[in-house]
């Protein structure tokens, strides 16, 4: 651990106190120094300091009797009660002694922070691995008990019901590119980006704050939350509570000038259910972006039909669309007519509700409905024929979205 930070500690401390500083390991070998020529050499005073477990001063006369030592002070660096190395300050002992404890504390604080950061990183990677294994879970071949045990080791009980929520940041690579362009120094831009990522994750964890909620980042622009269901409440209340939390999250992300899409899966009562919820949440985002252009929160349960369409063979889907709505697609105002079909069917064939949905007068609605019937030869007041037009329109939109993606 010390070898990775030695040069940074030596350089920074030297700049602050105005004296040369070096850092050694437990054997007195210099790991970092403001005087680069000393790296890799033996600093004999450090050997004595480690043996005595206390700081030593060495004036000009004493330093000449030791290998690689200049006048100054050598101080042990401790971590969890163990001496891991030393810090040496060059200069007149009486003058540099006042900097000794300050430099020692600085070095030890940096080391402790590095250990904490490394521990947090290892835990984050363990959680990412757990989530990825749940995402790949196969009840026929995966070891369910092993996954449950790994969850418990990390402090999570995977047995209670959960819902998986996935968060996909919009054009986050573009955001980071803008930060790089606006920052003169690469180091400062990286710090800015890391700070932004930490802020985003902090806000997600603040909203999904139960100790049993698992929040994990997947890459730089995607997050997964395993949201635990603590109480046996009505399903509608569960989804309403999740929707409120997701709306709060979107508002908080907008404060950071970050936009996102959120997918919500099904309720998973076991590992198999969690696996299904995970993939359902991502499907909700994928389908939602195609079919609901003005929404940011997508529940998979709202896209049952669209999910079903995804299993239809593409050739069959194209043939069905061609047979039903080819003539309608040829009209200049076809987009308007397709929107009318969707609104009419999704409003239970209600003229009042359809007019409100389309924000048009009822007479305009009837004009469009009559036009659609004349072009297609189908009666939109007949449920079966209206359903045929509705399904053909939905499938057409999915095919067009897939075509744009490719």
- Kindly state the percentage of the chain with pLDDT values over 70: 96
CATH 3.40.50.1390 fits 158-307, yes or no: no
Domain range 2-108, its CATH number among 3.30.450.40, 3.40.50.300, 3.90.1150.10, 1.20.58.1910: 3.30.450.40
- Separation between Cα atoms, residue 19 and residue 42, nearest integer Å: 19
185: pLDDT strictly greater than 60:
no
pLDDT tens digit sequence for 349-375: 999 999 999 999 999 999 999 999 999
The Cβ of residue 27 has, within 10 Å, a number of other Cβ atoms equal to: 11
pLDDT tens digit sequence for 263-284: 999 999 999 999 999 999 999 9
Residue 152 makes CB contacts below 8 A (sequence gap 6+) with none
Task: Give whichever of 185-189, 312-316, 322-326 has the largest mean pLDDT.
Answer: 322-326
Averaged pLDDT score across all residues of the chain: 88
Report pLDDT for 251.
Answer: 94
Report pLDDT for 1.
Answer: 62
Report pLDDT for 245.
Answer: 95
Domain formed by 312-405, architecture: Orthogonal Bundle (1.10)
pLDDT tens digit sequence for 132-148: 999 999 888 888 899 99
Report pLDDT for 213.
Answer: 94
The whole-number average pLDDT for the span 245-256 is 93
The whole-number average pLDDT for the span 197-209 is 91
Could you tell me what percentage of the chain is helix, strand and coil, using 3-state DSSP and rounding each to the nearest 5?
60, 15, 25
Domain boundaries, the chain: 2-108, 158-307, 312-405
pLDDT tens digit sequence for 8-33: 889 888 888 889 999 999 999 999 99
Report pLDDT for 292.
Answer: 67
- Separation between Cα atoms, residue 200 and residue 219, nearest integer Å: 13
161: pLDDT strictly greater than 60:
yes
Torsion of CA 394, 395, 400, 401, to 10 degrees: 70
- Separation between Cα atoms, residue 60 and residue 77, nearest integer Å: 23
403: pLDDT strictly greater than 80:
no
Token output for 284:
């909700």
The whole-number average pLDDT for the span 305-313 is 79
Report pLDDT for 355.
Answer: 93
Report pLDDT for 233.
Answer: 67
- Kindly state the percentage of the chain with pLDDT values over 90: 54
Q: How confident is the model at residue 81 (pLDDT cuts 50, 70, 90)?
A: confident
């Amino acid at each position: 651990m010390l070898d990775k930070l030695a040069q940074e500690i030596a350089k920074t401390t030297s700049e602050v106190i105005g004296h040369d500083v070096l850092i050694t390991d437990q054997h007195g070998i210099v790991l970092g120094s403001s005087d680069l020529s000393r790296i890799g050499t033996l600093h004999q005073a450090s050997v004595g300091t480690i043996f005595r477990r206390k700081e030593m001063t060495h004036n000009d006369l004493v330093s000449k009797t030791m290998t690689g030592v200049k006048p100054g002070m050598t101080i042990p660096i401790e971590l969890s009660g163990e001496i891991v190395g030393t810090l040496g300050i060059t200069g007149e002992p009486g003058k540099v002694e006042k900097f000794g404890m300050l430099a020692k504390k600085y070095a030890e604080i940096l080391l402790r922070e590095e250990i904490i950061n490394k521990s947090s990183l290892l835990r984050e990677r363990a959680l990412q691995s757990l989530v990825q294994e749940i995402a790949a879970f196969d009840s026929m071949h995966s070891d369910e008990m092993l996954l449950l045990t790994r969850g418990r080791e990390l402090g999570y009980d995977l047995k209670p019901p959960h819902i998986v929520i996935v968060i996909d940041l919009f054009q986050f690579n573009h955001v980071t590119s803008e930060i790089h362009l606006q920052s003169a120094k690469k180091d400062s831009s990286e710090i800015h980006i890391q700070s932004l990522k930490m802020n985003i994750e902090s806000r997600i964890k603040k909203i999904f704050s139960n100790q049993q909620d698992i929040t994990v980042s997947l890459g730089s622009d995607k997050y997964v939350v395993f949201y635990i269901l603590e109480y046996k409440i009505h399903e509608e209340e569960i989804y309403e509570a999740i929707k409120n939390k997701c709306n709060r999250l979107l508002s908080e992300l907008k404060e950071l000038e970050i936009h996102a899409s959120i997918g919500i899966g099904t309720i998973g009562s076991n590992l198999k259910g969690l696996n299904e919820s995970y993939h359902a949440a991502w499907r909700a985002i994928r389908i939602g972006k195609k079919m609901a252009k003005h929404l940011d929160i997508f529940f998979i349960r709202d896209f049952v039909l669209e999910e079903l369409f995804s299993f239809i063979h593409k050739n069959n889907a194209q043939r069905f669309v061609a047979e039903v709505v080819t003539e309608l697609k040829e009209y200049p105002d076809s987009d308007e007519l397709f929107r009318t079909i969707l609104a009419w069917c999704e409003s239970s064939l209600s003229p009042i509700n359809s007019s409100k949905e389309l924000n048009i007068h009822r007479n305009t609605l009837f004009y469009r409905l009559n036009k659609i019937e004349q072009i297609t030869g189908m009666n939109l007041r007949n449920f079966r024929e209206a359903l045929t037009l509705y399904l053909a329109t939905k499938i057409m939109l999915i095919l067009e979205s897939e075509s744009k993606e490719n």
